A and B are shown apart, each in its own frame.
Chain A
């Protein structure tokens, strides 16, 4: 029996989240690879310093909830503002960064729901290492890459009611697995139409090619509530698993795990 490639993990607390980097490949114990991993963490910290609404000195906190003017903003801020607008359009307004509750009270622009996936996807460019597999997990949102001939990564989907249980396991060589929900921080996803926490859906996991969009779709689906699964089933290239407030677990027809698909209208 042959053993697999060498594997190594790094963990850092960034953006208030545990961020785990797992690499498989021949170079995981070299300084060059460790430096690449350090750059990932450093870049995520820099993004947090710019975008956190919890840090009084961040670009966004200084704006006090106003949306940055894309024309005048620095390039990364402009990019995030534009992505937030694209996300609002793609989700029929169910992902809306413009009127969210702010840490200091009141409502205003808070792109946090998009920044994490965007930043992780961007930082992962430091870990494009030939012959190496990457599994980058930022607070439960996962980005995956696999070199040719290597086994897919196996991603457990957490049960929102019992974090030590798994609802399902999906094997993915590439792409993203993102979960949004009300499990850990209380009801922290706002229904942008009602202006209050969304409660009909407990958690949504979305699997697909891009982490930014998997995360945005999962968040929008939680906000959307009752008809979320039908909407998720319409998303090209993405599949989803949903747990509603009653604890019912349902999947879209293309769900890659072992959970059977639910009947959707899509």
Chain B
């Protein structure tokens, strides 16, 4: 459990940085003063349970647990959510929450974004979907493909499969 907790907290911190970085590419100058204050885990929280405690253990865990280096996401299982501490940025506080199922990030929610200025709507509309996509695409390093009910051409560009494909094109 400790391994997954450490990994999750570092992930939350990384996501805060990612969020900041992405915003800076929008030309807001927002990132450079971003402080991810939770790299030591203080102020972050994890709640969840171990997965696969029944007779049918996680099919993906064999042997990968001990060879993982803490930060590579090779965890054996675990369901729940991790909430990052509030990162103080030039524009205000940012806080994200990630949801983990079977040891993998399955959702990213932004709990707090700066308000009181015109950028919060911009951030919500633009950066938050990118943040989600980036986090989920990062996950795709651990899956090779996605099976889903008839992915049509129309929906493909936004799909996780397209992120996986893009990583290997060429």
Contact = CB atoms under 8 A, between A and B. Distances in A.
A55 interface: no
B145 A155 contact: yes
Q: How large is the interface on A (under 10, 10 to 19, 20 to 34, 35 or more residues)?
A: 35 or more
Nearest to B142: A154
Given A139-B150, A183-B148, A184-B151, A8 B143 contact: no
Interface stretch (B19-27, B116-124, B152-160): B152-160
Contacts of B139: 166
B56 A166 contact: no
Contacts of B160: 156, 158, 163-164, 166
B107 A185 contact: no
Interface of A: 7-11, 13, 16-18, 20, 22, 135, 137, 139-142, 153-160, 162-171, 177-185, 188, 203, 205, 255-258, 260-261
A142 B145 CA distance: 8
A2 B170 CA distance: 22
Interface stretch (B4-12, B30-38, B86-94, B98-106): B98-106
Given A22-B144, A169-B60, A140 B168 contact: no
A138 to B, nearest CB: 9
Q: How large is the interface on B (under 10, 10 to 19, 20 to 34, 35 or more residues)?
A: 35 or more
Given A18-B151, A169-B143, A181-B150, 8 more contacts: A7-B168, A17-B152, A20-B164, A163-B159, A164-B136, A182-B149, A183-B150, A256-B59
Contacts of A153: 144-145
B41 interface: no
Contact of A20 (B104, B150, B165): B165
Given A20-B161, A258-B57, A10 B151 contact: no
Contact of A166 (B146, B153, B165): B146
User: For chain A, what secondary structure do more than half of its interface residues adopt (helix, strand, loop), or is it mixed?
Assistant: strand
Contact of A184 (B77, B146, B148, B168): B148
B58 interface: yes
Given A20-B165, A153-B144, A258-B57, A169 B152 contact: no
Contact of A205 (B147, B153, B161, B170): B147
A260 B156 contact: no
B52 interface: yes
B143 to A, nearest CB: 4
